[in-house]
Structure 1
Amino acid sequence: MKSPAILLAGLLCLGAAMPALATSLAPKPLQEMVAEADQIVRATVVAVEMVDGRGRPLTDPDAPTGPGVSNEIRLVLQVQDVLRSPGKVPGTIRVPLWTMWHDSLGRARGAYLHSEGIFLLKSERHAPVYPMDFQRPLEERARIQALMGAP
């Protein structure tokens, strides 16, 4: 039989390794996200869609995303105002969410549908500038605009 000290040490090592097995990200400062954003828009989420790895629409509210799953959730935004963009932004854009989040279509609809905010995006794909906190409250508009002008 192994000594209790060895078992305790093993459990502590396992506990320390567990966060590495979960999908998690450190928060990113707003200043960095604004600096990295190609597009900054004020918009409303008018739909939440999901497609499989071949781009086929999925409608099952329990359809998952996460590591090992090729499904992708997309927010459909109705753009009201463009704060920054290198070119013209269409009135409606689709924003793909990070596929590594453990999520479902139904949960995402409940969380995002009809929400309004300022969205920090990048590239012609309108991807989030960072997987989390890319949708900011409307009350942060003045702060975001000040950061846009900051060197």
Structure 2
Amino acid sequence: MKHILILIISLLPAVALAGLPYEASLEEMAASADHILIGRITGVDMVDARGKPVTDKLARTGPGLDNTIRLRIGVDEVLVTNASQVPTVLPVPLANDLHYSLGQIQSAHKNDTRVFLVILKGNDFSGIKPGVFLRPISDKEKAMELYHASHP
């Protein structure tokens, strides 16, 4: 029994790390990036499964619900992209299996003037992982160094 307990305890760190789907290191983000931008959150919106706007501030996301909350990112500067054109505003989805209401996220970002490093992938400009795409602007130099090292 003692050996089984020691085995279970020794495996906990690996299980814990495997269970972090909403986190990514700067190294992982830069290596997966197709686009590195400088931008700010200019708004928050929600769409249903058909892409139809949802305006009810009490509307929620979460398991079994078909709504997606998106942060509207105003692009100030394009540092790196593989796209022929980057829109001036990008609706980037948050993880839709977390329990949030539209009003809650709108309130959290109301009057938010912070500038971010925005790291995205794909033709649809999505997060590296669901909802994982914003980094402090202070990460710019390191992110660019890591990006160029992983994209020779």
Alignment TM-score, normalising by the size of structure 2: 0.77
Q: Which residue of 2 aligns with 1:108?
A: 105
Counterpart Cα distance in 2 of 1:147 and 1:80: 21
Counterpart Cα distance in 2 of 1:120 and 1:26: 14
> Which of 64, 69, 74 is the equivalent residue of 2:65?
69
CA contact (8 A) 2:22 2:130 kept: no
Computing the radius of gyration over CA atoms, which structure comes out larger, 1 or 2?
Answer: 1
Q: Which residue of 1 aligns with 2:13?
A: none
Cα-to-partner distance string for 1:23-63 (whole Å, 9 max, x where unaligned): 96363221011110111111111110001112221112221
Cα-to-partner distance string for 1:71-108 (whole Å, 9 max, x where unaligned): 01111111011111102211111112221121111121
Unaligned runs of 5+ in 1: 1-22
CA contact (8 A) 2:34 2:121 kept: yes
Deviation at 1:132, TM superposition (A): 4.6
Aligned residue identity for 1:99? N
Unaligned runs of 5+ in 2: 1-18
Among all aligned residue pairs of Structure 1 and Structure 2, give the percentage whose two residues are the same amino acid: 36
Cα-to-partner distance string for 1:88-138 (whole Å, 9 max, x where unaligned): 211111112221121111121233343431111111211101125420011
Counterpart Cα distance in 1 of 2:41 and 2:115: 6
Computed over aligned residues only, the root mean square deviation of the Cα atoms, in angstroms, reads 2.4
Q: Which runs of 4+ in 1 moved over 3 A?
A: none
Residues 61 and 24 (structure 1), Cα distance of their counterparts in 2 relative to 1, 3 Å cut: farther
Counterpart Cα distance in 1 of 2:120 and 2:145: 17
CA contact (8 A) 1:96 1:126 kept: no
Q: Is residue 36 of structure 1 aligned with residue 35 of structure 2?
A: no
